[in-house]
Structure 1
């Protein structure tokens, strides 16, 4: 059956793509294989950029008849698309940014799963091994540049934000771009798109012709947060833990905009690492910022961090409200501190080797009902370990909100149950309730049904 919003096409890669072995082609082409289905889902997310839905099952259902096949030719590989979203094409030709990202999916899926056999996981790998895997995945994607000084600002924030918050992220991105800084985000809409858009305009003003707009995602999230078209380097990491490590290894500083559970997960991840004694002297500029209307949001976040992780955690960041220029100045100053530190310690500018990441933050956490009930959400332990399990709790909520596997688990077994110290659970429940009221859990206009229950007694 044909639809007006579907296109059939044979697409060649833009730029160079290494020749594939017969084994790689067979594995990717198997219609019944899990690897082919993973590739199909990620490819559909790329082609469906601009979608207003953050429900991956809805996207998959709408384009259930979409298929993608590899065609091996003497000059390389082409992709045959059947019933692809028409929004990826203009007058029958695929949009260039979409084509680049489509072949980034092919590159990352094959390299990740073939070279590292990650379908078997790295559960027994050491911390150093995982860090080297993240490095090699990024190197394979040509992310690393020979730079004279740190210049990469990671921007975190929600895909579901109000218009005035989105406009502010563009303003901050513009100020960063005017200072010749590059942008890395989770590559989706909202606070992930705004900074890139602002920086792109600023780079044009400054005649920066090699601006970097790096997007880091992972298979579980890409369908709900399709990459925005400004991304000019896309990398699909195997899981959320390696995605988060890629952020802090490639970024030289981080700006956090308003968001929901995913943004809280990112904050707890970074604070947990920075609170580890081995990272006490590692400079890592971190700013929380938003328009004046978002001041209360950051007061809630700041209060939660103080109540749960203590004042030392609060000292790891600055809160700047409604002043994009000041955010950019703080970041630029922080870049200089990072440069001096890495020169003194003979560390690379393109990859943060000196930052110590404990294994608790590296090994994938599977958000099952049993695993979530087993989280150690109690006071009286090392603060970075509490941050690690809090990060897992928020990661589970993200899975239940937007990841296909998490949504299916909720439908089958009911909401996740989060247990822990009663005082801590009350603080957590209040923060999550604020996210719900502020519509930070789903796209505006959609009705949110919590995928979790916080047990406060």
Structure 2
């Protein structure tokens, strides 16, 4: 990666953290010298690097090895001193407004996460406690808006997609925006940007001035996939599992576009939850869609679900090919069912408390070589438990592809080994190979993709 120009600058909060208690200021000042400093530095660099065509956290960190961020205490709050920061984050010496907002959102979330972990209300030993923790993180970020009717549509898909696929996501986003629906994505490029971009135009046409473009990420992902500048609400969850739970708790429906290992991870997570017996009657509209050129991809993903999780799993989503209007109509109709269901049961619109999520979907998975090789992948397992382990397998592949820690593990120990029933391994290997052939694992233009895994029957 060729490093562009850098700049030194001082910046104060706007959008969050303008008013702080003395205790909060003390907590923030500790970030500059404690163990949280490196985490915030990594997230800050990613945000300042928005727009760069790089999806390798290790490459970005090495290119800006001399970047530094210092946190200074002031009477009214905090000030950030940035040293050797990417110059593209500034215009005539002033930081771009969206960048500044996201920078302080990151500081807010990282500090609050750390301060909450030691608090009496946090119980990470139970499923209900983990859900409560996710709720508190989202509430602190001002993401939960009581009273708003269900209209938050989560869009999942790859960061490395074709131009045609990207244009299609914008068309879908435009149709959603025309129907006064808001967009939530993983906040990065590709599918995470396209629907937001389409919705902004539609919201402008409908004179909607408070359209929401919510981005939910986690430290390992944001370092490789910087937030796109359309995001006007950024939330950084502490790990991938809490990020995924946040998506399904605040989202009222989900659209899945073409993508790679990360999209498969999200899809399997969702299916595993929806297949849980306690969630059988909970309405949750899910649409799998893409342009005509992606039809083979959609059918292959659908076939993989059928071969591994069974026909029941396929009943939880609808496939719509090359029809943005129908996607939006289907989603809008599904959201009406969600609203009716929650009104009947007095469930909150802003947080899906009724959805049952087992601990196997909530516990952080550390993708070490030993843990990847130990995954149980057999057809003898209950389908929702198999979905949980398949999700972990794809999570490890994502780590090996783009996360700094995962990349270093692969460099040191070689590819992960994934074992399992041949009836699962064969369709898994075929799906992963298709991702490679279609350039869905990494952004095109760099070195040829070297798989970070080996599928072993």
Aligned to 2:221: 221
3-state SS of the aligned residue for 1:153?
strand
Residue in structure 2 matched with residue 6 of structure 1 by the alignment: 6
Give the aligned partner of residue 301 of structure 2.
301
Deviations 1:242-275 (A, max 9, x none): 0000000000000000000000000000000000
Q: Which residues of 2 match residues 58-137 of structure 1 at below 5 A?
A: 58-117=59-118, 125-137=125-137
Q: Which runs of no fewer than 5 residues in structure 1 stay unpaired? A: none
Distance in 2, Cα, partners of 1:99 & 1:348: 32
Structure 1 residue 15: Cα displacement: 3.3
Task: Report what 1:412 is aligned to.
Answer: 412
* 1:249 corresponding residue in structure 2: 249
**Aligned residue number for residue 199 of structure 1:** 199
Q: Report the aligned-residue RMSD.
A: 1.3
Unaligned runs of 5+ in 2: none
Measure the CA separation in 2 of the matches of 1:19 and 1:226: 30
1:223 is displaced (CA, Å) by: 1.2
Q: Would the aligned equivalents of 2:29 and 2:73 in 1 still touch at CA under 8 Å?
A: no
1:261 paired to 2:279: no
Q: How many pairs were matched up?
A: 449
Q: Deviations along 1:342-364, whole A, 9 cap, x unmatched?
A: 01111000000000001000000
C-alpha separation in 2, matches of 1:328 and 1:171: 10
Matches within 5 A, 1:254-403: 254-403=254-403
Verify the 8 A CA contact 2:152 2:250 in the aligned structure 1: yes
Look up the SS of the partner of 2:53 in the other structure.
coil
CA apart distance, 1:117: 4.1
Distance in 1 between the 2:77 and 2:430 partners?
55
Answer yes or no: is the 8 Å Cα contact 2:29–2:71 preserved in 1.
no
Contact 2:146 2:348 in 1 (8 A): no
For the 8 Å contact 2:148–2:350, the answer to whether it is kept is no
Contact 2:372 2:396 (C-alpha < 8 Å) held by counterparts: yes
- Deviation for aligned residue 1:26: 4.5
Equivalences for residues 417-456 of structure 1 within 5 A = 417-446=417-446, 447-456=448-457
What is the Cα deviation at residue 220 of structure 1? 0.6
Asked whether the 8 Å contact 1:123–1:363 carries over to 2, the reply is no
| Contact kept? 1:442, 1:448, Cα under 8 Å | yes
Does the aligned pair in 1 maintain the 2:16–2:105 contact within 8 Å?
no
User: In the TM superposition, what whole-angstrom CA distance separates every residue of 1:369-419 from its partner, at most 9, and x where no partner exists?
Assistant: 111111110111111000000000000000000011110110111100000
1:322-360 Cα distance to aligned partner (Å, 9 max, x none): 000000000000010000000111100000000000100
Of 13, 19, 24, 2:27 maps to 24
- Tell me, in whole angstroms, the C-alpha distance in 2 between the residues paired with 1:106 and 1:216: 14
User: C-alpha deviations, 1:165-216, integer Å up to 9, x for none?
Assistant: 0000000000000000000000000000000000011000000010000000
Q: TM-score, normalised by structure 2?
A: 0.96
Contact 2:290 2:321 survives alignment (8 Å): yes
> In the TM superposition, what whole-angstrom CA distance separates every residue of 1:257-298 from its partner, at most 9, and x where no partner exists?
000000000000000000000000000000000000000000
Instruction: Find the counterpart in structure 2 of residue 181 from structure 1.
Output: 181
What is the CA–CA distance in structure 1 between the aligned matches of 2:297 and 2:434, rounded to whole Å?
Answer: 8
What's the counterpart of residue 53 of structure 1? 54
> 1:36, 1:20 → 2: CA distance?
20
1:50 and 1:228 in contact (8 A); partners too: yes
